Amino acid sequence: MAYCINPDCSQRKNPDNCAVCQACGTALLLQNRYRLIHPLQLETHSYTEVFEIEDLLERERPKILKSLKNVTPDLLRLFEQEVSILTNLRHPGLPVGETIFPLFLQINRQLHCFVMEKVPGENLQTWLSKNQYLTSYKIALDWLYQLVEILEFVHNNSFFHRDIKPANIMLRPDGKLVLIDFGAARQLTQTIVNNQPVTVIISSGYTAPEQMQGQAVLQSDFYALGRTFIYLLTGIDPAHDSRARSYNWFKNIKDKKNPQSLIHLIQTMTDTDPQRRPPTAQAILEKIANIKNKKYPQLQWRKFYLMIACGVLITIGSKLIYEKTALPLTCDNVLEDNLSCGEEILIPDNFTESNQPPVEKRSAIEQYRAKNFPDAIHLFTIAFNQQPDPETLIYLNNAKIQTQFTTDKIHTIAVTVPLGRSTIRGLEILRGIAQAQTLILQSGQPLRILIADDHNRADSNTGNNARRIAKKLVKYRDLLSVVGHFSSDATKQTLPIYHKAGVVLISATSTSDRLKSPIFFRTVPSDRIAAQKMATYLFSELQQRKAAIFYSQDSEYAQSLSTAFQEAAKLLKGNVINQEPAFNLARDNFDAKAALNQVKTQGGTAIVVIPDAGVGLHNAIPNALNVIRSNVNQAWIVAGDSLYNSDLLKADKIVSPQGIERTALAIAWHPMNDPNSAFVQQAQILWKIPKKALATNTEISWRTATSYDAVLVLNKAITQNPTRSGIQKTLTQPQFSVTGTTGVIQFEEGNRKYGTITMVVVRRHCNSSEFVFTPSDFTPKDWKNCGEW
């Protein structure tokens, strides 16, 4: 039988030989490889569905697919949380996550699908329904030890679970336990949301008190685990029976040989005050070892080895030896850590046309990982010729560096990009990085690039994010500097980390005026410069009287640009309407038409649109596009650089031609400013952009140019003084300058000294149906030969 993934389908069961569902027409083979066999969870009140599937490429490996059928920002965040954990962490006690992909149904509905390992066996809720309780405390100790070991691994990787209960623990046939369901992105019978947005996960009888208040901590997992073992030892479900929640629950333990020390441990784990619970998983493991009247061998060996290591360090007394043994080197071939010099692919598979990179690229990765660099060079070259993506070019350059230079001559920097969640923008940045690295290598300088994917998350309780990436990067003793992060929100979170480590961070895209640090520099003009240009354009050139600002009110970038625009407006005697809740682009219930009508009522003739850069406020950019589409009053719209993307050119799908033609954006650079420059011409060759397609291209953007310049700046500083402190000192010198594609770059207190902003508008290309970005000051003469570009 083949099962239909469409949750609205009236008849989801189909014969095996069907290619599409007989009832609704939905394709039954997903991603050209996954076929749904039968459902494992289909609850009407659930936000997700789970299926056992057949993978046509790996038939021997049982797998399941979880689909998120109701997509909201909160649910998607929780769903992506589980994906991040299970794809980034590897432990015998965790399922193996494989891939995530969106699925668009014919009914204008989108699902998010996550494929992972199918864990054999049954969950402990099912086991308890058959066996009622554990008959031996020794089994309880063994199970508790297994689960705490899993939690120790999870917690040490800066994650926590938030929904531990018997239903989320699998018992394998070999007796080993596996912790599942890290997303909790669903509403089960026992997982409720108390009429609140699904950001606080509550499982009756198991959830810690502080978590119910939205203040979950690592010790919240210990509380839920303790409640689970109360159920296992007594057979009384905390979700339904108050006896399990009373202080005297232990009187119902079935195994009368149960030691008092185990009861005390569980009492401590389930204390209502998280401060009185065990502080770490390791502390619980030590308690379990004491209960067994055995020493904790793993811990003892750790301590033993640590004592030996400390003794050696003290004996040798050399700081250099310590650094070489304690601090890692970059390009260490560690997989699934969101970092790569060439040992793994970071671009999501579902972003490529065939849902997987070229065979040659995958083979090149294997050769690079094996340090067979000549073969890697050959294969990367073929892969790049087939599909010119910047990740491949960077890995190709890195492999060439490994063969042409000795280790002591190689200089390494990192670039942080949002590949996992904002792939298009991440690739725009990487094109500039790769092009600059190629130019530098051709001049005989070995600048190795480490790509770091921070998923465009500033910070989060779980999953990969900018802070975790920054903490990893600064520990590499051979890493000299970092280009990043993409958003001002992410940069703000990481600045203290780089500052403490003395690592220069140079950003090509973070524009907030509130970003300040002695180690922070940027090649992109700050929001103050952009706001001055936007205000001048609106109030002086367009002669508008009064403007309203629609922006993401929780965004570092949007707040900074909004404030700067208001200050610039005052200098030009422009009027700005007081901020209203209806103008918040990040609101889930944002109503573009109502907001525009409110502006008109208050006498506004112009709108300033500043959506966030996609750092968790998922609705902002779609809401901004909806403002343009709904602009029937023909107000002038000026937008920040976060809105610069190809969606604005899809006038027939996203916005109305009337609305878009009264919209201008403030950006740091545009290729039509100087289409004959060496940078633009080389970019067209590298990325195979035909000359006549330059105006319609969105692959070479302002983010590409400022990232290219950032690498040129760092390379010059490294050439003069190749140390962390030396780079910082060089960049602060008044005479330091670099001529990049965006102009002469000098710094004053970290900011670009002579930054310029280009206002771009959307126009029809050569009177065709295509729309293109062009500088606003393009004249009819410039359009005369538009077909040539």
Dihedral in degrees, nearest 10, Cα atoms 17, 22, 24, 25: 50
Q: Give pLDDT, residue 789.
A: 53
Of the given ranges (143-157, 513-527, 739-753), which has the lowest mean pLDDT? 143-157
Residue 309: pLDDT over 70: no
Q: Do domains 2-117 and 527-667+757-788 have the same CATH topology?
A: no
Annotate 600-632 with b (16+ C-beta within 10 A) or e (fewer).
Answer: eeeebbbbbbbbbbbbbbbbbbebbbbbbbbbe
Residue 131: pLDDT over 80: yes
Terminal C-alpha separation, the chain:
54
The residues pairing with 547 across neighbouring beta strands, listed in sequence order, are 576, 606
The pair of three-digit structure tokens given for residue 421, joined into one six-digit string: 């969640």
The span from the CA of 270 to the CA of 262, in Å, is 12
Q: Provide the pLDDT confidence category of residue 306 given band limits of 50, 70 and 90.
A: low
Q: Provide the pLDDT confidence category of residue 310 given band limits of 50, 70 and 90.
A: low
Look at strands 169-171 and 177-179 and give their pairing. antiparallel
Q: Provide the pLDDT confidence category of residue 186 given band limits of 50, 70 and 90.
A: very low
Task: Convert the pLDDT of each residue in 189-206 to its tens digit.
Answer: 333 333 334 345 677 788
Task: Convert the pLDDT of each residue in 111-121 to its tens digit.
Answer: 999 998 898 89
Mean predicted lDDT score pLDDT of the chain:
85
Question: pLDDT > 90: what percent of the chain?
Answer: 51
Residue 325: pLDDT over 60: no
Multiple choice CATH, 527-667+757-788, 3.40.50.2300, 1.10.760.10, 3.30.420.10, 1.10.3470.10:
3.40.50.2300
Q: Which CATH architecture has domain 339-524+704-724?
A: 3-Layer(aba) Sandwich (3.40)
Of the given ranges (26-40, 370-384, 449-463, 622-636), which has the lowest mean pLDDT? 449-463
CATH topology of domain 122-294: Transferase(Phosphotransferase); domain 1 (1.10.510)
- Residue bearing the bigger pLDDT, 351 or 679: 679
Neighbours of 562 (CB within 10 A): 24
Residue 275: pLDDT over 50: yes
The pair of three-digit structure tokens given for residue 231, joined into one six-digit string: 């159920």
Task: Convert the pLDDT of each residue in 699-712 to its tens digit.
Answer: 999 999 999 999 99
Of the given ranges (61-65, 227-231, 692-696, 713-717), which has the lowest mean pLDDT? 692-696
Q: Give pLDDT, residue 461.
A: 58
Task: Convert the pLDDT of each residue in 420-446 to its tens digit.
Answer: 888 999 999 999 999 999 999 999 999
The residues pairing with 507 across neighbouring beta strands, listed in sequence order, are 522
Neighbours of 782 (CB within 10 A): 13
The span from the CA of 439 to the CA of 406, in Å, is 20
**Is the preceding omega at residue 670 within 30 degrees of 0, hence cis?**
no
Neighbours of 165 (CB within 10 A): 27
Look at strands 520-522 and 13-14 and give their pairing. unpaired
Helix (H, G, I), strand (E, B), or coil: what is residue 83?
Answer: helix
Q: Provide the pLDDT confidence category of residue 307 given band limits of 50, 70 and 90.
A: low
Residue 417: pLDDT over 80: yes
Of the given ranges (86-90, 168-172, 511-515, 626-630), which has the lowest mean pLDDT? 86-90
The residues pairing with 608 across neighbouring beta strands, listed in sequence order, are 549, 638
Q: Give pLDDT, residue 594.
A: 94
CA angle 567, 573, 578 (to 5 degrees): 60
Q: Give pLDDT, residue 550.
A: 96
Structural contact between residues 5 and 67, judged by C-beta atoms closer than 8 angstroms: yes
**CA 214 from centroid of its chain's CA atoms:** 23
Q: Give pLDDT, residue 478.
A: 94
- Across 45-49, 141-145, 155-159, 420-424, the highest mean pLDDT is recorded for 141-145
Q: Give pLDDT, residue 242.
A: 67
Neighbours of 756 (CB within 10 A): 13
Q: In the chain, what are the domain boundaries?
A: 2-117, 122-294, 339-524+704-724, 527-667+757-788
Q: Provide the pLDDT confidence category of residue 298 given band limits of 50, 70 and 90.
A: very low
CATH (residue range 2-117): 3.30.200.20
Mean pLDDT of 76-99: 80
